[in-house]
Structure formats: structure tokens, C-alpha cells
């Protein structure tokens, strides 16, 4: 297609004349196929049984076999006498064990560990200028299912590892399902899908001992990313605080590739998709992440489910960066087909087009979160692909992997994967076929089943690919020259970071590389860092005790993009957790008021006392949610130290769990409280206290003059200031800023 025409594609190509004449004209739409309902809701003849579609083999009050025969015992095998041998004829035993033996399916080859939620996407209608996709172009609501994930770890690995996070959204639109299968990092490790098996082999545990689990701090990972320097940009994001998000609710999401949108007039536009969290983008500190891996490996999964259950529905705005669809597929010199590039928001602002709200937890993890099958090729009219070679490979991989993971080609019939649009395909049979297809002519056109189904044109909703020109070219295994600049965008990212963010990046590289055994890999990694920034390289080299090499490329004078920094703004504090530590006796009324104030501010109080149970059991009791024995600072975002006894007496003294007596008379402060306070301080979290809390803080080495420490007359007063500090996520002044 010529350039003039590229932005002026006719409404869509007229439907091609069929190669064989249609035997009949389109008439009434066909009824929805039985596979639109659960098997329980449809009789073998395809007639509804009246059972709710939600019935998932759980109807009737009696325990039955899979065939519906009622059971009188499910605890004892059938035996020849109570002490005799178990009989092979026990069909119930065999059915129960056989089914159990096959309960597991292969975990995802990447993104195995995840958590998901249902929700609603509300299009603002503002995208009508650039796309005809109704769920974006109209002011309308579309059901969605979103799965977040880590990439490298197995299904049972920890949530708070340093890794990229998946952010995959299934939009059940009326025109078919659209999947936006993105990440929380806007660039990717590689530029061509053919290298995907290699980067994943390098990132996964070593094949001999299968360690380390869910980590990038090992030789093979760093070997790959330093030999394939296109990975530099993504790796730098991983080593930044983006690699350890505070919560799935506080992550950005990116479609990564450039997509092509088509509007009703047929005009095309290139776009990049962005999800912007309403709560802001926030991260853990590395030490918090590591402690959390042990304390609560399900931290992110729990956080998402708890927030939704509590009604604190997480929200993201969907936005697009818009670029003209020019022949070069570039914007301001940035190659839009290279998935290791971003386009700074300062050059192309993110324009909001809709709002995502996650408002319901899955009912069953396996049926929904595990069996959901995403695929970048699940597209709807109005959204098309570009020639990004990474995207093209993905279009093959996702369909293919589901066949092995979900046991055959009929995974689209699983409840979570069913489209909300009517389906009338000619796909038949195969493993796990649950539809009972009627008719005798699963081919088209035909003259037996009324000629149905009929073909649609673009004017009645067919998905018609944009007829872009494919330039005449030689077949080659090559990348374009523009794909060979691997350092100027990482440099842009580095220069956009604030000093404290740079400090974290330096610490992350130093940590990860210090875990490598091979000297050559560390040296190569330092060379990569020298090509990003000499200061970054120098400090990491110091940490490793190695000399810093000189850059081997000319360092680009890139403009920073302030939008890339996570600091400098204030954010809503809804859903943040405030730990309230008490000795269980002092100023209980103050604790009640502080608790209420936390709830009124939309946050979550977590009362921590020496022992469990109720405080002040008689009147208006306060439930203890954690004890000194099972609490750790990583579970909350800010700390309130409730009043402690008068100076001189034991403060939060350790008590015998049974007798409730102090175990160590004269101990000033329970060491577990000191540890909590010290960690909270070290991690830059706001600290508030009242009525004698200063003694405990001093014991932990924290002075009341320290930044982000508020001592007030009451818990409510302290909380007011703590909430303000929380708006910036952390007390950033507490971190050393070396760069």
C-alpha cells in the first residue's frame, strides 16, 4: 500500500466474492452453540436443562460419583473383611484415586505463578477517533478477567522476587475476545521471538541442580543478558524498583509492542497501550522483598484478594500513546517496531481511553486463574498488529502452548475462556470437546445445513486485516540497522531516575552480580554498565571489588523523561496497611480511636500485641490481628506505636504467653518491637507514636527528630501526619543518595 493510502484505507475491503456461490441468503442468526453454556446446563440434545450456567458439577445435596450415583461412604475402601485386602472391584476407590492422580496440568512454561480477578472495563468513548473497536470507541462497559504473574518462578514460588510482572487482560467484548497480554515493564529483553526459548532457558534455574528458583541472580541469566546487549534496557528496569512492586495494584501495565488501530473510516494509527494505576506506582525495598519471601510468599496474591474482598477495588486507567502510521514506522527517530524502545511520555502523552476496575475474586483458582488462556492473536475489529518480529512469534506461541497446557484444542470452551460473542465456528471434535454440535455439514458453503454459517463483511463486523504493503525484499535472517542501538534508551532511563532510585539500581546490580561465580560474566556486565553510564558502572565495580572499564560506545546525550521516575508525586493512601503496635494494656481508648481513624481514611489497621485474642475483652473489645511472635514489619506500610507505660517501667515487655507475666523483668522494650521499629525506619516507612512511644523508639536507635517520625498527643493526631507521609509512599529522605 502506498503512503498516501496508508492512512486512508476504505471502510474495509468489500467482502470478496465467495469462490463458490452461497446456496442461501443470510437469514435469522443461528442460535448460540451449546458450548456457550456449561455442560450441566445443556441436555445432550442441546436443550437447556434449567440448571444455572454456574453449576459446575455441584448440584444436588448428596455426594455422588462422577456419574451421579449416590454414595454411602467415601472414607473406607471396599475390603474382604475389616482387616482383609482391598478389592479391585471398588470402582469408587478407583475413580477417586484416578481423578486425583490427574489433578495437575503442566504449569505455564513462563508466568507460572499468578493471581487474577474479574472486573469491568469502562470505555470512555474517546478512542472513536482512532479505532472502531466498540469497547473502546463507545461509552460502554465490558467484562474483563485480569491475571498478574511473575515470569521466572514455578507455580509455588514466592511473589516478591525481583522479576518482571505479567499484566494480562481478557476483554469479553461483544465483537469477540480481545487479549492485551502485557507486562509491568514497557520494553522486552529481546527483539525477535526466535530468542525467547534462549532467554527463558537462561533465566530459569540451572538445569543440573534446578536452582535458583525464581531468581535472576545467577550466572546463566547474566551470561545471556550481557552477550545479547539488546536485553540491557529491560534488565535495567528489572534492577530498578520496578522489579519489586509493592502490590499488583500499584504497578503500571504496558502492551509493549506498537499496535495498529483502525477507525470506522479505515484510517490507521499506531499506538502503545498503557495501564496507569490509580494508587500510583510503588515498590518494595529489596530487604523488604527478601523478608517477605519468607514471611508471606503469597504477599501479592493475598494483597489483591484482600483488597477486592474488602471493597477497595483496584483501578487502572487505560491510555494510548498515538503515532502516525508512517512508512518508516518510527516516531521522532524512535523505531516503533523495536520492542526494546519506549517513546517518552513527554514526546507522546498517554491519552486516557477507559477505566478498569477489578471487583470480584475468582471462585476457583484452578478453573479460572490456572485455566485462563491468553493469546495476543485474540483481536477484535479495530485492533491490528504491526510487523514487530517479537509480536509475530508470540502470535504462534500462545495458541500452541495452550494445546499442551490445557490438553487439546478445545480450551476456548472452558468457562473462563468462553467468548461473550456468539460462536459459530467449523472447528470440530478433539480432546475435551464439550459442545454437542448439531447439523451434518461442518464446512462451508454447504447446501445441507441451510448454507450456514455465512460470511460477514467489514460492514457487519468481520475482522478484516489492514491491507498494509509488504515491501518487496529478499528473504534474510537479519535485524534492521536501527535495532542495533542497545544503550541510548537504557541511558535515558538511568538519567530519568532520582538519586535514591539510582542508589537502588546500583545496589541491585551489585547484589545480583555478586551472586555470579564466573568472573568473565561480571566483567562483561560491567562493560555493559559502562556503556550506560560511568557512574553506575563505577559504583557497581566498587561493590564487586573490580576495576571499572571505559565505555566502548559514544554515550548518548539523552533528555531525561521525568515520567519514568516513581518519586515526586503524592498518591491516594486507600488500602494501605497501618500496623498499630501496643503492649496490650496502655491507652486502649487511644488505640480504638486510632483504629477508627485508619478505617475512616480508607486504610487498613493491623493491631499487633504481645499475645493473641481480644484486648479489653469486657467492653468494646479490640481484636488482636498479629502477635509479637508472628508479625513482621513487611506486612504494613506505616507504623503507629501506641502508648507504652510510664518511663522506667517495661515498655512492650516480653510476656509469657501462658501466664501473661513479663518474662524478663527490667527489659526496656521487647526485642521484637525493636526489630519492627528498626526495620520500618530502615525501609523509609512513616512512624507515628504517642504517650511514651518515644522510649521504645529510642531503644531502637530512632530519635524523634529523624525524618518521617511523628510523636503526637494521640494516635489520631499521629495518624493524620503519617497518612500525609504515606501519600509519597516512603520517607525518601531516609535513604542515602550516593549518586
193 binds ligand HDD (CB under 6 A): yes
Q: What's the N-to-C CA distance of the chain in angstroms?
A: 51
- Site track 250-269 with ligand HDD (rule: CB under 6 A), x = hit: ------xx------------
Q: Which of 110, 452, 608, 631 binds ligand HDD (CB under 6 A)?
A: 110
Q: Which of 346, 321, 351 is nearest to 336 (CA)?
A: 321
Q: Which of 393, 408, 534, 560 binds ligand HDD (CB under 6 A)?
A: 393
Which range touches ligand HDD (CB under 6 A), out of 74-82, 130-138, 280-288, 366-374? 366-374
Question: Can you list the pairs that 620-626 forms with residues at least 24 positions away whose Cβ atoms lie under 8 Å?
Answer: 620/592, 622/588, 622/591, 622/592, 622/595, 624/584, 626/579
Smallest distance from ligand HDD to CB 99, Å? 25
Q: According to the annotation, is 72 in a ligand binding site? A: no
Which range touches ligand HDD (CB under 6 A), out of 57-65, 179-187, 206-214, 726-734? 179-187
Smaller CB separation from ligand HDD, 152 or 168: 168
Smallest distance from ligand HDD to CB 168, Å? 4
Smallest distance from ligand HDD to CB 360, Å? 17
The single residue listed with the C-alpha cell 503500571 is 252
416 binds ligand HDD (CB under 6 A): no
| Cα-Cα-Cα-Cα dihedral sign, residues 174, 176, 181, 187 | negative
Smaller CB separation from ligand HDD, 396 or 519: 396
Q: According to the annotation, is 196 in a ligand binding site? A: yes
Q: Which of 7, 126, 157, 401 binds ligand HDD (CB under 6 A)?
A: 401
Smaller CB separation from ligand HDD, 398 or 463: 398
235 binds ligand HDD (CB under 6 A): no
The catalytic site residues sit at 111, 183
576 binds ligand HDD (CB under 6 A): no
Smallest distance from ligand HDD to CB 203, Å? 12
186 binds ligand HDD (CB under 6 A): no
CA 148/CA 277 separation, integer angstroms: 14
Q: Which of 357, 392, 360, 584 is nearest to 470 (CA)?
A: 392
Smaller CB separation from ligand HDD, 273 or 652: 273
166 binds ligand HDD (CB under 6 A): yes
Smaller CB separation from ligand HDD, 180 or 654: 180
Q: Which of 6, 162, 260, 394 binds ligand HDD (CB under 6 A)?
A: 394
Q: According to the annotation, is 62 in a ligand binding site? A: no
Which range touches ligand HDD (CB under 6 A), out of 391-399, 452-460, 463-471, 612-620? 391-399
What is the secondary structure of 119-138 as a DSSP string?
Answer: EEEEE-SGGGGT---HHHHS
Q: Which of 113, 118, 147, 300 binds ligand HDD (CB under 6 A)?
A: 147
Q: What does the buried/exposed string (b/e) look like for 202-228 if buried means 16 or more CB atoms within 10 Å of the residue's CB?
A: bbbbeeeeeebebbbbbbbbbbbbbeb
The single residue listed with the C-alpha cell 534474510 is 476
Cβ distance 253 to 518 under 8 Å? no
Cβ distance 322 to 293 under 8 Å? no
DSSP annotation of 264 reads T
- Angle of helix 499-514 relative to helix 519-532, nearest 10 degrees? 160
- Site track 79-108 with ligand HDD (rule: CB under 6 A), x = hit: -----------------------------x
Q: Which of 514, 517, 545, 549 is nearest to 532 (CA)?
A: 549
φ, ψ of residue 536 in degrees (nearest 5): -60, -50
Return all residues near 391 (Cβ < 8 A) that are at least 6 apart: 193, 257, 339, 376, 385
CA 681/CA 641 separation, integer angstroms: 13
Q: Which of 38, 149, 216, 329 binds ligand HDD (CB under 6 A)?
A: 149
Residue 397 burial (C-beta neighbours within 10 Å; 0-12, 13-18, 19+) = middle
Q: Strand 165-173 vs strand 330-331: parallel, antiparallel, or unpaired?
A: unpaired
Smaller CB separation from ligand HDD, 414 or 604: 414
Smallest distance from ligand HDD to CB 183, Å? 4
Q: Which of 7, 126, 213, 398 binds ligand HDD (CB under 6 A)?
A: 398
Residue 234 burial (C-beta neighbours within 10 Å; 0-12, 13-18, 19+) = buried
Q: Which of 123, 153, 182, 579 binds ligand HDD (CB under 6 A)?
A: 182
Question: Can you list the pairs that 27-31 forms with residues at least 24 positions away whose Cβ atoms lie under 8 Å?
Answer: 27/450, 29/422, 30/422, 30/424, 30/452, 30/453
7 binds ligand HDD (CB under 6 A): no
Q: Which of 144, 181, 202, 236 binds ligand HDD (CB under 6 A)?
A: 181
Q: According to the annotation, is 83 in a ligand binding site? A: no
Which residues face 674 on adjacent strands?
none
Smaller CB separation from ligand HDD, 150 or 160: 150
Q: Hey, which residues between 265 and 294 contact ligand HDD (CB under 6 A)?
A: none
157 binds ligand HDD (CB under 6 A): no
Smaller CB separation from ligand HDD, 43 or 401: 401
180 binds ligand HDD (CB under 6 A): no
237 binds ligand HDD (CB under 6 A): no
Cβ distance 499 to 734 under 8 Å? no
145 binds ligand HDD (CB under 6 A): no
Cβ distance 610 to 702 under 8 Å? no
245 binds ligand HDD (CB under 6 A): no
Positions at the binding site:
108, 147, 196, 394, 398, 405
Positions at the binding site for heme:
108, 147, 196, 394, 398, 405
**Residue ranges that bind ligand HDD, judged by CB under 6 A:** 108-111, 114, 147, 149, 166, 168, 181-183, 188, 193, 196, 256-257, 339, 372-374, 390, 393-394, 397-398, 401
Amino acid at each position: 500500500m502506498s503512503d498516501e493510502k496508508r492512512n486512508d484505507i476504505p471502510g474495509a475491503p468489500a467482502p470478496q466474492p465467495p469462490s463458490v456461490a452461497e446456496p442461501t441468503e443470510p437469514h435469522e442468526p443461528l442460535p448460540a452453540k451449546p458450548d456457550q453454556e456449561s455442560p450441566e446446563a445443556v441436555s445432550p440434545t442441546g436443550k437447556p436443562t434449567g440448571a444455572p450456567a454456574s453449576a459446575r458439577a455441584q448440584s444436588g445435596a448428596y455426594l455422588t460419583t462422577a456419574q451421579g450415583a449416590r454414595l454411602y461412604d467415601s472414607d473406607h475402601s471396599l475390603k474382604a473383611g475389616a482387616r482383609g485386602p482391598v478389592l479391585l472391584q471398588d470402582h469408587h476407590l478407583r475413580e477417586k484415586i484416578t481423578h486425583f492422580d490427574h489433578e495437575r496440568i503442566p504449569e505455564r512454561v513462563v508466568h507460572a505463578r499468578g493471581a487474577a480477578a474479574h472486573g469491568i472495563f469502562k470505555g470512555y468513548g474517546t478512542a472513536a477517533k482512532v479505532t472502531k473497536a466498540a469497547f473502546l470507541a463507545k461509552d460502554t462497559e465490558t467484562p474483563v478477567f485480569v491475571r498478574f504473574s511473575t515470569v521466572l518462578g514455578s507455580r509455588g514460588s514466592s511473589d516478591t522476587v525481583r522479576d518482571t510482572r505479567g499484566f494480562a487482560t481478557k476483554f469479553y467484548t461483544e465483537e469477540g475476545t480481545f487479549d492485551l497480554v502485557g507486562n509491568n515493564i514497557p520494553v522486552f529483553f529481546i527483539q525477535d521471538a526466535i530468542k525467547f526459548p534462549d532467554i527463558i532457558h537462561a533465566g530459569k534455574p540451572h538445569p543440573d541442580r534446578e536452582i535458583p528458583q525464581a531468581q535472576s541472580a545467577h550466572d546463566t541469566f547474566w551470561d545471556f543478558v550481557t552477550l545479547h546487549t539488546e536485553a540491557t534496557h529491560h534488565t535495567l528496569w528489572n534492577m530498578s524498583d520496578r522489579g519489586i512492586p509493592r502490590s499488583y495494584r500499584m504497578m503500571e501495565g504496558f502492551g509493549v509492542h506498537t499496535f495498529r488501530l483502525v477507525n470506522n473510516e479505515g484510517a490507521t494509527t499506531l499506538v502503545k497501550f498503557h495501564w496507569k494505576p490509580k494508587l500510583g506506582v510503588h515498590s518494595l525495598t529489596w530487604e523488604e522483598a527478601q523478608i517477605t519471601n519468607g514471611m508471606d510468599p503469597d504477599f501479592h496474591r493475598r494483597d489483591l484478594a484482600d483488597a477486592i474482598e474488602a471493597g477497595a477495588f483496584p483501578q487502572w486507567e487505560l491510555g494510548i500513546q498515538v503515532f502516525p502510521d508512517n512508512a518508516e514506522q518510527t516516531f521522532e527517530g524512535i523505531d516503533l517496531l523495536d520492542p526494546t524502545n519506549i517513546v517518552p511520555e513527554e514526546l507522546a502523552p498517554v491519552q486516557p481511553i477507559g477505566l478498569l476496575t477489578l471487583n470480584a475474586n475468582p471462585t476457583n483458582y484452578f478453573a479460572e486463574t490456572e485455566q485462563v488462556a491468553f493469546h495476543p492473536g485474540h483481536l477484535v475489529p479495530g485492533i491490528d498488529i504491526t510487523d514487530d518480529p517479537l509480536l509475530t512469534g508470540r502470535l504462534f506461541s500462545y495458541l500452541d502452548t495452550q494445546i499442551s497446557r490445557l490438553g487439546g484444542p478445545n480450551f476456548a470452551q472452558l468457562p473462563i475462556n468462553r467468548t461473550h460473542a456468539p460462536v459459530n465456528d467449523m472447528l470440530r471434535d478433539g480432546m475435551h470437546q464439550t459442545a454437542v454440535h448439531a447439523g451434518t455439514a461442518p464446512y462451508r458453503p454447504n447446501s445441507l445445513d441451510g448454507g450456514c454459517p455465512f460470511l460477514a463483511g467489514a460492514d457487519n463486523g468481520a475482522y478484516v486485516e489492514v491491507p498494509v504493503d509488504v515491501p518487496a525484499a529478499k528473504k534474510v535472517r537479519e535485524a534492521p540497522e536501527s535495532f542495533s542501538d542497545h544503550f541510548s534508551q537504557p541511558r535515558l532511563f538511568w538519567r530519568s531516575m532520582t538519586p535514591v532510585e539510582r542508589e537502588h539500581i546500583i545496589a541491585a546490580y551489585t547484589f545480583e552480580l555478586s551472586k555470579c561465580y564466573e568472573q568473565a560474566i561480571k566483567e562483561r556486565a560491567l562493560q555493559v554498565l559502562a556503556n550506560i553510564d560511568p557512574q553506575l558502572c563505577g559504583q557497581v565495580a566498587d561493590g564487586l571489588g573490580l576495576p571499572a572499564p571505559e565505555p566502548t560506545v559514544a554515550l548518548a546525550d539523552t533528555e531525561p523523561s521525568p515520567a519514568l521516575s516513581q518519586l515526586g508525586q503524592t498518591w491516594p493512601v486507600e488500602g494501605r496497611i497501618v500496623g498499630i503496635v501496643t503492649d496490650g494494656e496502655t491507652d486502649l481508648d487511644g488505640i480504638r480511636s486510632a483504629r477508627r481513624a485508619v478505617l475512616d481514611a480508607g486504610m487498613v489497621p493491623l493491631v499487633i500485641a504481645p499475645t493473641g485474642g481480644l484486648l479489653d475483652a469486657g467492653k468494646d473489645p479490640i481484636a488482636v490481628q498479629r502477635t509479637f511472635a508472628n508479625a513482621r514489619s513487611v506486612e504494613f506500610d506505616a507504623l503507629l506505636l501506641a502508648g507504652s507505660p510510664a518511663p522506667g517501667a517495661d515498655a512492650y515487655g516480653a510476656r509469657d504467653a501462658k501466664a501473661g507475666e513479663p518474662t524478663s523483668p527490667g527489659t526496656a522494650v521487647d526485642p521484637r518491637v525493636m526489630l519492627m521499629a528498626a526495620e520500618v525506619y530502615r525501609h523509609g516507612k512513616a512512624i507515628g507514636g504517642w504517650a511514651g512511644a518515644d522510649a521504645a523508639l529510642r531503644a531502637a536507635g530512632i530519635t524523634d527528630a529523624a525524618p518521617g517520625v511523628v510523636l503526637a498527643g494521640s494516635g489520631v493526631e499521629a495518624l493524620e501526619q503519617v497518612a500525609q507521609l504515606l501519600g509519597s509512599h516512603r520517607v525518601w529522605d531516609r535513604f542515602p543518595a550516593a549518586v
